[in-house]
Amino acid sequence: MKNWQKLIPPAELEAYQRSGFHGDLAMGERAALIVVDVTFGFTGSRGLTLAEAVAEFSAACGPSSWVAMPKIAHLIEMFRARGLPIIYSRSRLDDIGWTGKATKAKRAARPLTAQFNTFPDEIAPREGEWVLEKTKASTFFGTPLATYLVKERVDTLVFAGVSTSGCVRASVVDGFSHGFSTFVIEDCCFDRSEFAHAANLFDMSGKYASVLSLGELEGLLSPVRRAAE
């Protein structure tokens, strides 16, 4: 049993499985990775407690961010090595004043510094990798993401990032609704609430996605093609 499953009541796990939920989706021919909102605004600086991270940025998730960070970095390298598309999302800060925020939360009104939207060095996009800006939770809502995925002949989406219960979940539901096979990498997602993380992995696994570990995904992706020596 995986760690997140231990927080789910056993009777509910059994009921979902008996009802036909939690089936696996098939990996398609061409996958894309979507790294959702892994910026300092949603992580906080390394080494801070959750309380300290929230004091720095009210949306930060603190320690769970940095537990997931090396695994997210490895996931990104897996896609780079295979030449598969990688999309990073972050907030479109200039437009939030017009559209409203991604959630209803009324957080402390503090001016946002440039660091809020900065990606940690461990997972920072390289030149030529797309940074998609959005104002709402889903990476699809009001963005050209679907058009890009069609252009790139993508049939499978792999999700990592933050928060499991918020922008990751919203993006997964929309990705599935657009007809993609959707995969969530459990140890590459994080949340400020361990309970919310587990509950949303459980629900996405039951309805919208295959929830896998990083190691499980690596076994499904096509091997890296080595150039002939």
List pLDDT tens digits, range 126-175: 999 999 999 999 999 999 999 999 999 999 999 999 999 999 999 999 99
The reply to whether 149 falls in a domain is yes
The reply to whether 146 falls in a domain is yes
Q: Domain of 180?
A: 28-101+113-220
CA distance 81 to 146: 24
pLDDT of residue 113: 73
pLDDT of residue 223: 82
pLDDT of residue 26: 86
What is this structure's pTM? 0.89
pLDDT of residue 228: 43
Of 150, 144, 193, nearest to 169 by C-alpha is 193
Q: Is the pLDDT of residue 97 over 90?
A: no
Give the mean pLDDT of the chain: 90
Angle at 191 between CA 186 and CA 194, to 5 degrees: 80
3-state secondary structure of 210: strand
User: Residue 35 sits in a domain of what CATH number?
Assistant: 3.40.50.850
The reply to whether 130 falls in a domain is yes
The reply to whether 199 falls in a domain is yes
Residues carrying an active site annotation: 167
Buried (b) or exposed (e) across 7-41, using 16+ Cβ within 10 A? Answer: ebeeeebeebeeeeeeeeeebeeebbbbbbbbbbb
The reply to whether 6 falls in a domain is no
Angle at which helix 194-207 crosses helix 169-177, to 10 degrees, equals 10
Q: Number of folded domains in the chain?
A: 1
The reply to whether 188 falls in a domain is yes
Of 224, 222, 39, 35, nearest to 130 by C-alpha is 35
The reply to whether 3 falls in a domain is no
The reply to whether 150 falls in a domain is yes
Q: Quick: pLDDT tens for 173-182.
A: 999 999 999 9
